[in-house]
Amino acid sequence: MEFDFRNRDYGADHESHLLPRSRTQNHPLSSPIASRQQQARTVRGSSDLDFFDPLMGLNASAEEKVEEEKDTSLSIEAVTQDLAREWKSLKRILMQHFPVSKVISFSPVSNVITKGSKVETPSAQPRLEETGSEQTSLEETAKVMDQQEYLAKVRELIDGITNAWQVEDRVTSLKLSIKVTKLLMDTTVLQFYPTVFVVVTDMLDMVGDMVWERIKEKAEHDVDGTLICTLSNNFQASDICLEARETCYNWFCKVGSVRELLPRIYLELAILPCWRFLVNQPREVLDRLVMMVRGLADPLASVYCRLYMVHRMQKLGFCNSGYLIKCIKDIEDILAPILVDKDGCSYITDDKKLLFNLMEPAIEYIMKCLLLTGRQENNVLGMLEELGFGKNKSQSSDNCTHVSILLHHLLKELPSELVSSQAMEILHMIKCSDDCSFSQVLNYRLLGIRLCEGRSQADFLSALISEVMQAASQYQTLYDYLRIMDAYVDLLLQNKMENHLDALLDNIVYLARDQFLSEEEQASLQSIILKLLSHFEDLQKVLSLNHFIEILDLMSGTSKKIVNMHLLNMGTRNGCICDSTTVQLLFEVSQGLYDATDFVNIKDDDNRQTSHLISRFVEMVDYGAERERQLLFLAECRGAFSGIHELKETLVRSSNTLAVKSLKAGKMHINFVKSCLAFSEVTIPSVTIPTKQLNLYLETAEVALLGGLISHSDGLVISAVECLEDVAPTDGLKSIDVDSMASVVCKLCSLLVMVPGNPEKGVMKILKSIFSATCSSSWAIPRLKVKILCAIISLLSTLSQDNLPYRSANPEIIGNDILFFGDSSYKNELVSWAQLVVGELVEAIEQESSQIARGNIALEACNYISSALIMNEKVSQLCLRLLETAKVCLGEKDRYLEATKQSLQL
């Protein structure tokens, strides 16, 4: 018995399978946004906010921030906590930032260490000291010690301190502490100083705590250990019993009897908090200590000593800005002679540079402390005045020079609203302070950065920026100029100061003339350009800026690449690119990017982004009615960017789009359509991924069909089929995505519904080729094969209908239904093909190794067959066989199986 195709009413089938539909008012995806807006409105309207949606409008949170900022005074606790954290990080920075070369030679001061860490009893002290003087002369000759060794010995000594304390031998403890502290007197190995500082101050903090605890214990308990009182956190000196006060004073006496200034100061600082047991207002003590530090002439030692002082003042809980200001003024005085040499000229040497490097963390910490304290006292402005900052220019014309390193760190810590309000004064200070302790350029730059943070008023900005620009151009070097102005670009843009912007660009071009830009300059310039790009919405506006193109040409290397990527991104984000000059520029930009990237060998994210950007650019270019020119452009791109695979697809699509557009425009363009098709046809083979290639062929074939160019479309379809045959078996199955392959072949089959059969070459020639390619190819695994064969069966069934479900949009193309109407040989051929395919199908199902997959494809095939063929005996036998297979594989209870059975009515 022969197969017989069912008569299908595709329209009715479609209707019956449609899901019920109902109208809706809102777009399902837009509703959350709408409700969020509503919510925002209600929240803002009501006074009490008990729910705050974090995703809600940003404006509301911004308002809150303003309020926070207004309240600049800080609580003491917050400051203390802040600084405790700062101290910890400072210690880490000191330890990490100043690594020391492995071997260090030490001066005789470190004899403490080399003499050995034996704990001497007090009585033995004088004798040892006598012998010590003899030893020094010997030891002075060669003292080379490893840093680690040195630190190990210090730690040994520190262990000695705790051990002695634990056995109540406090005299020894103190003596060892003095010894360790004396290490800080040695600044011969500069880079090592911070490390020693951290180790020694850790020890001092520990000793300070131990003394504090001991005196507190004495104040709270009497000799027998019975509790006298419990000291609250804010106790008064009068709460302390005489005994404890005696002990406390004794400690100060002992520490005060140390001859050397530096250890005496450090040790008093260590037990500084204990002054609270003796006096309520240790004002005088702090005044004196601040002054005492002045006696240390070594700049590094004295700055670090002040650092420790500030830290301990915090611990005492009595740190007001007055002391800090004095400290900073003293530091200024100490730095002054270093800045200016005897000859009166100031130049930087490596030693000085190192010195300032070492001092910087300490200065930074003290400044931080000052500003925090100032904010807590709510008197930042007064504090600045006291420091001599922010004075009127007329008042102190000669006295306004400040050491630039101090100025830098002050500016860094100032509250931003103050930076804005005092900007002019700060600028003048920066102008005046040009010394080797810190780069003036960076100070100018910092001012700009700080100004950007705050909201500055435009009225003085213009004057300020012209002054900055003037100052910056005086440097005569591009790098300095760029570094400074980079910080101000945002200000220029935000405040719409076009004339300044023009001047800036002019200057850049002027300074960069006849120069090859160094890497640093490139980076700065890049930053400026990116700021420009991100500010302007429209690429056109950027390009119309003075000298912009010239400046772009200055760039090279990675900076150029980054700028180019931004340019491309910007050019393509606002829809079509119609302007020919823009297109030209972006084409050059793309070319630059392309040349700078190795697309063949390296495949990373960066490259992917570049190729994506270029492809997107090509896609966005729109010449409008000048289609020929656009096609030319596409050809140009194909030549220029031959290494980008992603682009090929874009090119084909674009040329297809062009073809369709010109078809729409009228019939007279048929030659242009042909050239578009030719372009696509030539381009497609270079697409590497087979499924994509296939898709593109089909797409182009469709366009050709639309244009009524049957021979073209035939050619393209045949190419597609050839491509199917040629899918490189070497790539193996892995490289082919089974599902996409299946869908491509399905698409091919559906296209074939429209393509009129060619009686000369045989109506079924293409189908035959697909079939044989599928059966013979190695890439088609059984599952894929089944899908393709099912699609062919559907196609055969469709072709057998008297009315095709769809036809080409071009009325000149006549469908097979009309072409072969009433042709029985045509129908017979279809039937015989169906038989062949079904046979192959059943075989393919048997080959599937996975049970579940086999069951499912059997059911699928069964459904296809039953919908395509009239259920006569042969067909039902076939179906039953397939159902049996499915039952074996999936079990009787499978729902798909049951549903299939039901629909078959078997």
Partner 1 sequence: MTTVTVKLSRSNRIYRSSEAVEGKIVIKSPNSISHQAIRLSINGSVNLQVRGGSAGVIESFYGVIKPIQILKKTIEVRSSGRIPPGTTEIPFSVNLREPGESIAEKFYETFHGTNINIQYLLTADIPRGYLHKPLSATIEFIIESGRVDLPERPLPPEMVIFYITQDTQRHPLLPEIKTGGFRVTGKLATQCSLQDPLSGELTVEASSVPITSIDIHLLRVESIIVGERIVTETSLIQSTQIADGDVCRKMTLPIYVLLPRLLMCPSIFAGPFSVEFKVCITISFKSKLAKAQPKSDPTAPRLWMALERLPLELVRTKRDQFSC
Measured from the CB atom, the residue of 167 and 242 that comes closer to partner 1 is 242
- 292 is an interface residue for partner 1 by CB under 8 A: yes
CA dist., res. 305 & res. 90, Å (int):
14
Which region, judged by CB under 8 A, interacts with partner 1, from 328-336, 342-350, 461-469, 652-660? 328-336
Minimal distance, residue 193 CB to partner 1, in Å: 15
In this structure, what is the dihedral angle of CA atoms 698, 699, 702, 704, given to the nearest 10 degrees? -100
- 259 is an interface residue for partner 1 by CB under 8 A: yes
Measured from the CB atom, the residue of 185 and 465 that comes closer to partner 1 is 185
- 246 is an interface residue for partner 1 by CB under 8 A: yes
Measured from the CB atom, the residue of 296 and 717 that comes closer to partner 1 is 296
For 562-594, the DSSP string reads HHHHHHHHHHHHTS-B--HHHHHHHHHHHHHHH
CA distances from 437 to 369, 388, 399, 408, 861 (A): 21, 19, 18, 10, 84
Which region, judged by CB under 8 A, interacts with partner 1, from 40-48, 59-67, 261-269, 586-594? 261-269
- 229 is an interface residue for partner 1 by CB under 8 A: no
- 256 is an interface residue for partner 1 by CB under 8 A: yes
Burial of 660 (0-12, 13-18, 19+ CB in 10 A): middle
CA distances from 632 to 47, 239, 545, 663, 666 (A): 64, 95, 30, 18, 20
What residue type is 414 in one-letter code?
L
Minimal distance, residue 292 CB to partner 1, in Å: 6
Which region, judged by CB under 8 A, interacts with partner 1, from 74-82, 142-150, 234-242, 774-782? 234-242
CA dist., res. 182 & res. 184, Å (int):
5
Minimal distance, residue 268 CB to partner 1, in Å: 10
Which region, judged by CB under 8 A, interacts with partner 1, from 87-95, 239-247, 831-839, 855-863? 239-247
Measured from the CB atom, the residue of 143 and 653 that comes closer to partner 1 is 143
CA distances from 855 to 339, 775, 783 (A): 89, 21, 11
Q: What is the three-class DSSP state of 678?
A: helix
Q: Which residue has the tokens 């497609």?
A: 684
Minimal distance, residue 544 CB to partner 1, in Å: 58
Minimal distance, residue 278 CB to partner 1, in Å: 6
Question: Which has the closest alpha carbon to 116: 145, 86, 93, 87?
Answer: 145
Measured from the CB atom, the residue of 240 and 552 that comes closer to partner 1 is 240
CA dist., res. 596 & res. 561, Å (int):
7
Q: Which of 295, 382, 732, 762 binds partner 1 (CB under 8 A)?
A: 295
Which region, judged by CB under 8 A, interacts with partner 1, from 292-300, 476-484, 499-507, 574-582? 292-300
CA distances from 64 to 46, 68, 418 (A): 15, 6, 20
Name residues contacting partner 1, limited to 104-143 (CB under 8 A): 133
CA dist., res. 386 & res. 380, Å (int):
10
- 231 is an interface residue for partner 1 by CB under 8 A: no
Minimal distance, residue 103 CB to partner 1, in Å: 26
Which region, judged by CB under 8 A, interacts with partner 1, from 10-18, 293-301, 581-589, 622-630? 293-301
Token pair listed for 597: 């990237």
Measured from the CB atom, the residue of 300 and 869 that comes closer to partner 1 is 300
Q: Which of 43, 60, 278, 545 binds partner 1 (CB under 8 A)?
A: 278
Which region, judged by CB under 8 A, interacts with partner 1, from 294-302, 461-469, 558-566, 813-821? 294-302
Q: Which of 63, 260, 506, 846 binds partner 1 (CB under 8 A)?
A: 260
Which region, judged by CB under 8 A, interacts with partner 1, from 327-335, 392-400, 715-723, 775-783? 327-335
Measured from the CB atom, the residue of 252 and 475 that comes closer to partner 1 is 252
CA distances from 392 to 165, 385, 433, 465, 809 (A): 56, 10, 16, 20, 83
Question: Which has the closest alpha carbon to 199: 251, 152, 255?
Answer: 152
Burial of 138 (0-12, 13-18, 19+ CB in 10 A): exposed
Measured from the CB atom, the residue of 198 and 261 that comes closer to partner 1 is 261
Question: Backbone phi, then psi, for 709, in 5-degree steps?
Answer: -95, 80
CA dist., res. 640 & res. 622, Å (int):
18
Size of the site for partner 1 (CB under 8 A): 32
Name residues contacting partner 1, limited to 204-223 (CB under 8 A): 223
Tell me how long the chain is. Answer: 906
- Angle ∠(614,618,621) on CA atoms, nearest 5: 135
- 334 is an interface residue for partner 1 by CB under 8 A: yes
Q: Which of 235, 249, 475, 896 binds partner 1 (CB under 8 A)?
A: 249
CA dist., res. 785 & res. 741, Å (int):
10
Name residues contacting partner 1, limited to 168-187 (CB under 8 A): 185
Q: CB under 8 Å to 803, separation ≥6 — which residues?
A: 817
Q: Which of 235, 252, 475, 896 binds partner 1 (CB under 8 A)?
A: 252
The answer to whether the beta carbons of residues 718 and 684 sit under 8 Å apart is no
Q: Which of 79, 161, 204, 296 binds partner 1 (CB under 8 A)?
A: 296
Minimal distance, residue 245 CB to partner 1, in Å: 5
Which region, judged by CB under 8 A, interacts with partner 1, from 61-69, 207-215, 244-252, 879-887? 244-252
Q: What is the three-class DSSP state of 192?
A: helix
Question: Backbone phi, then psi, for 103, in 5-degree steps?
Answer: -105, 130
Give the interface with partner 1 as residue ranges (CB under 8 A). Answer: 133, 185, 223, 237-238, 242-243, 245-246, 249, 252-253, 256-257, 259-262, 264, 278, 288, 291-292, 294-298, 330, 333-334, 337
